[in-house]
Structure 1
Amino acid sequence: MLKIVIPLTLTLSLALISSVGVSAVPAIERLTLQNNHIRAEITPDIGGRVVHFARRNAPNFLRIGAEVKEHPAPLVTAESHNIGYLGHEMWVGPQSAWWTQQDINVERRDAEAVWPPDPFLVLSRHKITHQTEEQIVLDGPASPVSGVAFTKRYELLKERPDSLRLDVSARNTRSTPVSWDIWFNTRVRAEAKVYVPIQDEKKLRMNPFPGDKVAPPVYQLKQGLFSFELKAPPPGKTIRRGKVFMQPSAGWMAAFDQGQVFIIQFDLQPESLIHPEQGQVELYLDYQPQHPTASLMELEVHAPYKTLQPGEDMQAQEIWTILPYEGDFTSEAHIAFLKQHAAALGLKNL
């Protein structure tokens, strides 16, 4: 019988790996913006996204995927698939055109694939071009899929110490025109109660997702505000999943969760400027009571759809505000709180 002798140095190396694990992969870089009220963490890695936003010493309001720790250095190619880092990231829209304006992945182009999003926009490392205690600026790479490059600026506001401003510019890096909108996507827990001002239910459309175990979300309209009702799936179903597209009546939405209120403000646009496949505000709910780590809600905002000539750019912005909340977790208490702060924050149609 052949006897295999393992050298002592290899034996020690294997023992060391066994004792400390093999995950010697460095963590993502985190850049911090904070004051006496709030804390934000932005990474230049994995798409230049926001990975933390909360009151000082309060739980992270953003829903973050385990992949942030498990897969912090993705390989970015035209064949890359989406990685569930979550947090806040920026896309281009409409979704139906994601792979139609490129020739480096012909299979996805010909299929008019609606998933995954552009890997170069959401997975690539961004360059830090400016960093102070109040502001961070990141430059993303030129995407061969979308034909644009993002520049993102995150800034604390001196006049609003509870707030963070997000500015993004999308520049056409090709020698031919491209047509897109800027799409903000912010993930929170499915358990968050989110309100969007809407005056006409005809300005709302629900897109349920298919599946034998999937039921559509349930929503209500109360005092001119849309919100999901987090009801358990009916018998025979395990998931509530779907997306609602809205033309809001004012440029804001608010989410209540974990003793905090997260308010996103944006420029209200005429419906005619928003791509007809999208809504200026979109909420995606994936609620899985039996698998809470898989549940989430997405708070999405679209800027106007534009055609950019070579070298031309377009801009969009959001202002994030986060306040402490100690009231009851009911619609009545939430709406009363929003009305109380509406004048100070500029929340219209309340």
Structure 2
Amino acid sequence: MNRDKQIKFSMLMILAFAFLGCAEVNSVVKEFTQSHRNVIVIQRDGLEIGIWPEAGGRAVTFKREGSPNILDNTVLSTEYQLPMPEADTPWQNLKGHIVWVGPQSDFWSQQNVNPRANVRKAIWPPDPFSELGRYIVIDQDSAFVELRGPVSPVTGLQLTKRYELLSGQKARLTVTAKNMRNQPVSWGLWSNTRVHTDAIAYVHLDSLNAVRYEQNSKSVEFDQAAHAFRIEGDEIFTIPSYERDRDNKGLATKAQISMRDAVIHAVIGAWIFTKQRITPTNAIHPQHSDIEIYVDNHMESPILELEMHGDYQLIDPRESIQWSEEWQLTER
């Protein structure tokens, strides 16, 4: 199927799903207020991205003039108080766009500040210093900002994040992770973008055999994931939250997709969000895949994550690894 036909087919399927749903996607995407938050906003040619330095340097807004905020960030509309990161700080459901390091099975395996998490081989939560680290701005103009975070005692890494608005109404996000320990560490960068759960995310597949499924962290067949995903032709779609069976409220389901060109699309109201990997990869950790789409109905605040992975690498002392991706927002 050529590219034009793929896009046409995708749009037909998305319109059909929206018609079947009990609500329009447009009606459930809400704006939030941010006047009480220290959010840095950069703008170019009607495109803007907002970054929250105090919450792990995460992106919290991505929008064009006339569009809603594409990123899910309900926490910003409340008087929520951010805790300081500690080795035992509970996970905070802040949403937005964040970068973790993987694999998940090693979240707590290369540290001694929380020995209990290491002993029980904990796979949750992610590093609190990545999630809640206070970032400082090291360079900025109207169309880009570069921030540096603290050194994490959990991972040994110090992350630098650069958000840049490009010509053609694109955004490029680049993360550099430097090993600040005196011994090597092994990690892969893990990009995690949370969008509204009533979005319809989809991926053009290289092969149906390239998809595997997990439910509550266990491998399952497609039949057990069918409440969260649909396969139509050579594409996989998420089922928006307003269409999902209420009997599946306790399930967290993930599709892991191996593919040469990692691109995810998400339709949110009248807009199409595109996330594309820029960094070449050839050594992603076997627990993960190029693309992962995670649908969580279990929490009071559900989650739809559009994830991508970089290579799993040995990082020598004072050496770095890097990840880049591009975002685009187009009107359909």
Superposed pair shares fold, TM > 0.5: yes
- Native 8 Å contact 2:257 2:290 kept in 1: yes
Match of 1:244 among 233, 236, 255: 255
Structure 2 residue aligned with 1:233:
245
- 1:269, 1:280 within 8 Å by CA — same for their partners in 2? no
Paired position in structure 1 for 2:182? 175
Shift in CA distance, 130/269, structure 1 to aligned 2, threshold 3 Å: closer
CA distance in 2, matches of 1:287, 1:116: 18
Residues 1:96 and 2:105 are matched in the alignment: yes
1:71 to 80, 84, 94: 80
Equivalent in the alignment of 2:64? 55
Q: Could you tell me how far apart the structure 1 residues matched to 2:131 and 2:104 are?
A: 14
Taking structure 1 as reference, are residues 313 and 190 closer, same or farther at Cα in structure 2, changes over 3 Å only? Answer: same
1:184-238 CA distances to partner (integer Å, 9 max, x unpaired)?
Answer: 1000112111111212222111101289xxx74342333422212344326x543
- Kindly, what percent of the aligned residue pairs are identical? 31
Residues 303-338 of structure 1: CA distance to partner in whole angstroms, max 9, x if unpaired?
11100000000111010000122xxxxxxxxxxxxx
- When structure 1 is superposed on structure 2, of 101-110 and 65-74 the one drifting more is 65-74
* Structure 2 counterparts to residues 143-222 of structure 1, below 5 A: 143-158=152-167, 160=168, 162-209=169-216, 216=225, 217-222=227-232
- CA deviations on 1:30-51 (whole Å, 9 max, x unpaired) are 1111123212111111100001
In the alignment, does 2:122 pair up with 1:113?
A: yes
**For the residues of structure 1 that align with 2:330 and 2:248, how far apart are their CA atoms?**
36
In structure 2, do the counterparts of structure 1 residues 220 and 238 end up closer, same or farther at CA, with 3 Å as the change threshold?
A: closer
Q: TM-score, normalised by structure 2?
A: 0.82
Task: Say if 2:268 is the partner of 1:257.
Answer: yes
**In structure 1, how many angstroms separate the alpha carbons of the residues matched to 2:117 and 2:296?**
25
C-alpha contact 1:154 1:165 (8 A) present in aligned 2: yes
- Relative to structure 2, which stretch is displaced further, 305-314 or 217-226? 217-226
Q: 1:66 is paired with a residue of what secondary structure? A: helix
5+ residue gaps, structure 2, are: 1-34, 219-223
TM-score between the two structures when normalised by the length of structure 1 = 0.78
What do you get for the CA RMSD once the two structures are aligned? 2.2
Match of 2:10 in 1: none
Deviation at 1:55, TM superposition (A): 1.3
CA distance in 2, matches of 1:237, 1:79: 31
CA contact (8 A) 1:124 1:140 kept: yes
In structure 2, the partner of 1:317 is 324
The ranges of structure 1 where at least 4 consecutive aligned residues each deviate by more than 6 angstroms after the TM superposition are none
> Is the CA contact (8 Å cut-off) linking 1:68 and 1:85 kept in structure 2?
no
Aligned equivalent of 1:280, options 284, 290, 307: 290
In 2, distance between residues paired with 1:197 and 1:287?
A: 24
Q: In the superposition, relative to structure 1, how do residues 137 and 172 fare at CA in structure 2: closer, same or farther (>3 Å)?
A: same
